[in-house]
Structure 1
Amino acid sequence: MRWNNPRLHTPERRKTWLACAEHRQSLGDFLGARGFLREVTPAEGSPTLDT
């Protein structure tokens, strides 16, 4: 999950949090509720988002 806090980071800055399939939804909800979530992409070399 790529995110940033617009109060602290420039618009182009992205931080990355990795999440397993079990926790992807709750982490996405946490970031999304705060307006921080920018995109969800698979990490290089990891399984797809479908797993």
Structure 2
Amino acid sequence: MYDQLVNLISTLGFPIAVSIYSLVSLSTKLDELIKSVQEVKEDISAVIKYQKEK
């Protein structure tokens, strides 16, 4: 991984390497955020269903 990163920086330049790293990192965080939003959606749906049953 380190060798690939060094090769990428020397070939494409530092700004492009940082951009690619940021996109990969952001992708992981977005996946986690999507999962959290889905869980909240399910919880809200459960609460609404419970309230309608009362």
TM-score by length of 1: 0.28
The answer to which structure has the higher helix fraction is 2
The answer to which structure has the higher strand fraction is 1
**Larger RCO: Structure 1 or Structure 2 (Cα < 8 Å, ≥ 6 residues apart)?**
1
TM-score by length of 2: 0.27
The structure whose Rg is larger is 2
